[in-house]
């Protein structure tokens, strides 16, 4: 990973987890197929500026998954890719500001929840 000098990678993770209804958030993975999101009109992640979060609710995306609509996978994949790009941007900023170890610990503390 980045701690070892790698900051570019090719990974199927964002699309693979999206196929299973999993959205990546700063507070960990969110399984949008769970019943608790059936009437949740908020975005996948509050404050996220991706197209998906700006235009679609958790309830609607959950409905798309339940209806087996391919759009569900596309919307969550888009969000996950945006999340990873933002994650890497923030990580590079932390390196420039000489606070990468703190950023890394803070991220894992939040993401593992």
pTM of the model: 0.87
Interhelix angle 70-96/58-66, rounded to 10 degrees, is: 130
Residue 46 confidence (pLDDT): 96
| Lowest-confidence pick of 29-33, 37-41, 50-54, 103-107 | 103-107
Domain tally for the chain? 1
96 is written with which tokens? 């420039």
pLDDT tens, 48-103?
A: 999 999 999 999 999 999 999 999 999 999 999 999 999 889 888 999 999 999 99
Residue 8 has pLDDT above 70, yes or no: no
Residue pair 52/18 in contact (Cβ under 8 Å)? The answer is: no
Percent of the chain with pLDDT over 70: 90
The predicted structure's pLDDT at residue 7: 62
Give the domain range for residue 16: 2-111
pLDDT value at position 97? 94
Residue 103: how many CA atoms within 13 Å on its side-chain side?
16
Q: How far is CA 107 from the centre of its chain?
A: 13
The residue with greater pLDDT, 4 or 20, is 20
Residues 71 and 65: their CA atoms lie apart, in Å, by 8
């Amino acid at each position: 990973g980045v701690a070892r000098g790698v900051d570019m990678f090719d990974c199927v993770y964002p699309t693979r987890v999206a196929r299973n209804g999993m959205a990546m958030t700063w507070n960990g993975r969110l399984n949008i197929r769970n019943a608790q999101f059936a009437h949740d009109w908020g975005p996948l992640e509050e404050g996220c500026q991706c197209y998906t979060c700006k235009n679609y609710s958790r309830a609607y995306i959950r409905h798309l998954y339940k209806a087996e609509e391919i759009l569900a996978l596309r919307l969550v994949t888009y969000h996950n890719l945006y999340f990873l790009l933002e994650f890497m941007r923030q990580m590079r900023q932390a390196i420039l500001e000489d606070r990468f170890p703190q950023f890394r610990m803070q991220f894992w503390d939040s993401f593992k929840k």
